[in-house]
Structure 1
Amino acid sequence: MEKRNVFDEAASLTEFWSQRTLQESNGTLLKVAKGLDSTRWHSHDDQDETFLLLSGRLVVQLRDGDVELNPGDLLTVPQGVEHCPVAPEEARFLILGKTVTSNTAGGKPEWSHAEGSL
């Protein structure tokens, strides 16, 4: 067993829209991420994607309306639902899902490296 601090882990990330797996529980990965600006529109055919916002603001655009998340808010995007997370300011969050989705198919933009990390 290892204790992890989600706030410290999220703060140490060097890329936007990338995920770091912290732990696994009952087949669910608990991953930290940070975002700025927007991902691409995408969906996950193999899993739901749950966001728990730690800091900042995150707007999850859906085809039928936007859902704004503030710190402490939780949202599950069901499997197969097209979405586009947008962070108007740097946002840090926990993602729960079966696999890591920080790739082009998971909506990750080409520019996602944080300043100074290249």
Structure 2
Amino acid sequence: MLPAISPKKIAASLDELWSPRVVAELDDSYVKVAKVKGMLAWHSHDTEDELFFILQGSLRIEMEAGTVELGEGDSYVVPKGVRHNPVADEECLIMLIEKKTTLHTGNVDTDRTRSLQEQLRPVA
């Protein structure tokens, strides 16, 4: 039997911002955690939805049709194909559920883009 995990504790232990780490697998999806602050990048995922769950702090998801404000315990699914830009004014801990095929920053490559190999690195 696998041990229980604490996504919030794992996210809090991360040193890098906007660098998600895979903490579990669920069928064809990964459960990821990240520590974020500032802006990621405007991007979309053409064929995958993306679930954001706020473990601590607050996150704003900017979209062309409007902005969603999320606080601790809130979640939001960004539908496939929707351009979005996650922004955290202060440090925020998040959990993501994404299909294994989801690219970190979708159709955009920035200095914050992380490969799947980077996201699969063990967490200390």
TM-score bracket relative to the smaller structure: 0.7 to 0.9
State which drifts further: 92-101 or 70-79. Answer: 92-101
Q: Which secondary structure does the structure 2 equivalent of 1:35 belong to?
A: strand
Distance change >3 Å, CA 21–CA 3, structure 1 → 2: same
**Cα displacement (A) at 1:12:** 1.2
TM-score (norm 2): 0.81
Gaps of 5+ in 2: 114-124
Aligned-pair Cα RMSD in Å: 1.9
Gaps of 5+ in 1: 113-118
The answer (yes or no) to whether the contact 1:84–1:107 under 8 Å persists in 2 is no
Q: What is residue 16 of structure 1 aligned with on the other side?
A: 17
1:38-93: per-residue Cα shift (whole Å, max 9, x none)? 01100011311100001111000010110000000010001110000000000101
Identical aligned residues as a percent: 37
**Cα displacement (A) at 1:111:** 6.3
1:13-51: per-residue Cα shift (whole Å, max 9, x none)? 111111111111122211101110101100011311100
Q: What is residue 116 of structure 1 aligned with on the other side?
A: none
Q: Which runs of 4+ in 1 moved over 3 A?
A: 100-103, 105-109
Question: For 1:9-48, what aligned pairs fall within 5 Å after superposition?
Answer: 9-48=10-49
**Cα displacement (A) at 1:97:** 0.5
